Structure 1
Amino acid sequence: MEYQALVVSFPPEQDLSLQQWLHQQWPSDPLLEQAIPWARSIPDIFPRSTSGFPPYSNSEQPTTSSSTTTKSCRIGLFQFTPCGQYIACVIESDTIALIDLQQQQQPSTGWMHTLRSHLQHNIASIAFRPTCPWQLAVGCWTGIALWKKTQLQWLTWKQHVQVECVSWSKDGSLLASFSGLDKSILLWDVGLSQPLVLAKENTLPVCDISFGVCGDAFLFVGYASPRYHFTVYDMLEWKPQRWKRQHKVTSTTPCCKIAWSNCSIAIIASYNQLYALDIAEQDVVWTQCLPDDQDNPHRRIVDIAWDPSAQRLAVLIFYPAQTSPPRGHRTHIALYATQCEPVFRMHFIGWITDGEVWALGISFPPSDCPFGALLAISWNIGTIQLVPLVFAKQP
């Protein structure tokens, strides 16, 4: 049996308890006896009444993390620590809220701290160091801010400012960053505060950089350019991978994002197409386009997230506003079931959406649940919702 989504906020129009509602959907299934207590134990990070956190205005459109430079609430940019206890959320263009999820239901215990500096402006990217849950790298207009709890250190180098992307290597020894001003990708030895110029692009903007989380050491660079799609660097030699087949995507609105799991496969999204990349074999093993939508042909993928166990893929799709028929912009989250072995497979499960608000970002936080995963969704009203997903029963 396949559970599509086990949502804590079940349909309010039904006068039922969560347990009754779930048993109506999947009667006589013993797995629910484990799933229900797990789902009910999951805290809301930001309840609907978000006192102290300014909401988005209804006129704002969903944006990627590097496209907005005005001072506003941008809770769509968030990241969990590797242990899953803490989350960092950008609540203004110069302010980060660090929340202790175990304490956030008890305001008197100091469940939230704010990270703010007069030099920290227009935050575009954040990343926790994998080996140090209290160390956070922040890419912003003035460079790279390194927070260790409340202590602040700055990484600066020549014209490497307007930093739009930051990413840590799996062992936490290297920090990669991209500057929108000098168009350079730097690798930082944080202990020495010294950078190495990995690549310098005179014309190509970068929309995503990410170290692989599997055993192999690779750095992915996604370009926001119709001429080039992506580059994968081998960290052993710092040379671009030579792919067996050349795959090129041309689109009017390029945006290349990657999602990793604990295997050699990576999922790449570009505009309205998805690719499965076998890093070890240096080949694209699967491709799929979003289904045609005659009502809104300009829809595009703005974010993707893959469960670490490689069983669920979430795809955030943005539908721009239309004039005929009159309709505002909206977002849908497509949920897929995936399998990497013995061959890569993927099939569509269903949609997660809210007609009145739109999603700004998605992520799979760490979870020790053996039969499911959590999907975190940030909404434009200033909340983050955790959606429990229960996997198919194992034979």
Structure 2
Amino acid sequence: MLKLKDQQIVPPEVDQVTLCELDNELIQLKGKDDPNISRYYRNQGIDFPHIIVPYEIKNIKKNTNSCLIHSDESECKENVQNIPYEQTKNFLKKGYDTINNFIFNPLNTIFGQSEGYLRRIQYENNLQPIKAFAWHRYQQVFAIAHRQDVVYLYDLYSETWFPQSPKGLFHEEQKDITCLEWKPMSSICLAVGTSTGVCLWKVPFENTNESLNYDSIGQNPFTSIKSDVLKVGSAMLQVLKYPGFCHVSSLSWSPDGLFLAVGSAVTNTIIVWDVAAKTPVALSGAGGKGTTLLTWSNDGSFLCQSCTDNILRIWETRTWTCRTIPLKNTCHTACWYPDNRTLIFSVKDSDEISGIQMLWSPPKLDYTILVQENLGITEAETINGNKICIGGPIRRLCIDPTGQRLVINFEERDNPGCELLGLFSILRKPYLRYQPIGFIRGPNWHPGAPKPQPPRSPYNDHDTNEGYVPMPRLMSFAYEFQRGALLSVCWENGKISFIPLLFN
């Protein structure tokens, strides 16, 4: 069992901010004259832009002319294929789908856990400026979904937003955004999950010979080839809809970019789109209500689906059969290890890192349960003797593309310390283990920004509680980074932090 208190790691002070990792040590800063800044640059540190996204963007032009949009809506009303669960007879499957789609799923929406999950994600998405964040697969570009349902792209190469504020990628179909993800094997396509379906934005790139602004050593840390930048002024939109399928909660591209898996917060059915052919396939498994997450293994062999009623389902993508795994609570965070066979996850209200390992390649679905790692809660002291509680229920897990680092976001509690992210080194042999490196602290509220009161929301700018600091809300790793891993964190106050983890 892994206990944080056994590692003798000193957490950062509340007035510090994490700069980077240098070979298993987190570097914390306290002021602009901190000597660790020089140490960072001596180790060929990289300058990243200072980005704060405002909670409210005024004068947004929410119309289809905001950036030369061409709309191609695809509503599939025929030629819909349903793949049977465990190869049951087609006529029985059609009968099950009819009952499930028109009777049970609406009832689950009204009376089951699905409605509560849907309301919770809609509420949480309105508490901070950034709803969703996604790195481009091959460029140093990321996309954000603002709480006002407008999508913006940021190019680290030129340090510019596209489209320029207050304009944005917006369409009348793009409401209640919950997730977004760039298409693999493509440089221009971004999928956005909404309450009515999926918006596919196609944004062109063009070659450029401009020099980098953020790299202190004059070398692109993302890729060794010449970069492209966004071509401002054009974007095309394609809308994917499936009859009766709404409230998209999660989406995931297959690694080859051919298929887009889409989950809903109010049904266990998932839709797998052949985007090029505009053909949807509905997949239903026994048990489960709303879908909380979808994630494809890196080689495309398996698709993980989590449902709101304590169900984890593994689909194998050769014959599209599945294996249902009962859990003690709802799985709300999961990620595949780069070996394409190991899935680590955590369930609601638990401080355990659980995992399964697939034993064979598809179509076999045999698995073994991995040893659980219990983080626990421990009271730690900073250098100045301030006591904080670290650990507790896990909110989100994130593994870097190299498979060497794990970042953990803990659930919010009343005690100081829940604003810290845990950074772990992943040890593969003799079995999967997690060695603590340290704790990542983000920024304080920037001057003039309203501070929240419970429930945490910048709308409450009176009689503020000075003990609050911004909580981490979203975190992800850049796909391309040559010197280790690049972690991005979206904080509650709209700050986007870039934390390079520099290791061999």
Bin of the TM-score, shorter chain as denominator length = 0.7 to 0.9
Q: 1:352 aligns with which of 440, 443, 451?
A: 440
Q: SS where residue 284 of structure 2 aligns?
A: strand
What's 1:250 paired with?
328
**CA deviation map 1:141-197 (0-9, x unaligned):** 121111111211111111111111111000011111112344421111111212111
2:411 and 2:418 in contact (8 A); partners too: yes
**Count of residues in correspondence between the two structures:** 351
What fraction of aligned residue pairs are identical, expressed as a percent? 21
Q: Which has the higher helix share?
A: 2
Q: Secondary structure at the match of 2:370?
A: strand
- Structure 1 residue aligned with 2:192: 138
Report the alpha carbon displacement of residue 91 of structure 1 after superposing the two structures with TM: 1.3
Is 1:116 the counterpart of 2:167 in the alignment? no
Structure label with greater radius of gyration: 2
Question: For the Cα contact (< 8 Å) 1:65–1:124, is it kept in 2?
Answer: no
Structure 2, unaligned runs of 5 or more: 1-20, 58-116, 204-234, 361-366, 380-387, 443-467
Find the aligned partners of 1:328 and 1:15 in 2 and give their Cα distance: 24
Question: Which residues in structure 2 correspond to 1:1-395 (within 5 Å)?
Answer: 3-7=23-27, 10-12=29-31, 14-16=33-35, 18-20=37-39, 22=40, 33=42, 36-37=43-44, 39-41=45-47, 43-44=48-49, 46-48=50-52, 50=53, 54=56, 67-68=121-122, 73-104=128-159, 114-149=168-203, 150-199=235-284, 204-213=289-298, 215=299, 217-226=301-310, 228=311, 230-241=312-323, 248-251=326-329, 254-264=330-340, 265-271=342-348, 272=350, 273-280=352-359, 282-292=367-377, 299-321=392-414, 330-341=418-429, 343-354=431-442, 356-370=469-483, 372-391=484-503
The 1-side partners of 2:290 and 2:318 are apart by: 25
How many angstroms apart in 2 are the aligned matches of 1:5 and 1:135?
37
Residue in structure 2 matched with residue 324 of structure 1 by the alignment = none
Contact 1:66–1:164 (CA<8 Å) still a contact in 2?
A: no
Distance 1:66 1:234, change over 3 A: farther
TM-score (normalizing by structure 1): 0.78
> Could you say what secondary structure the match of 2:169 adopts?
strand
Partner residue of 2:3? none
Return the TM-score normalized by structure 2: 0.62
Deviation at 1:124, TM superposition (A): 0.8
> What SS does the corresponding residue of 2:38 show, helix, strand or coil?
helix
When the two chains are superposed, the root-mean-square deviation of aligned CA atoms in Å is 3.3
Report if the CA contact (8 A) 2:130-2:490 is conserved. yes
Gapped regions of structure 1 (runs ≥ 5) = 23-31, 56-62, 322-326
Structure 1 pair 151–261 and aligned structure 2 pair: CA distance change class (3 A): same
1:99–1:111 Cα contact (<8 Å) kept: no
CA displacement at 1:92 relative to structure 2:
2.3
Larger RCO: Structure 1 or Structure 2 (Cα < 8 Å, ≥ 6 residues apart)? 2
DSSP 3-state at the match of 1:309:
coil
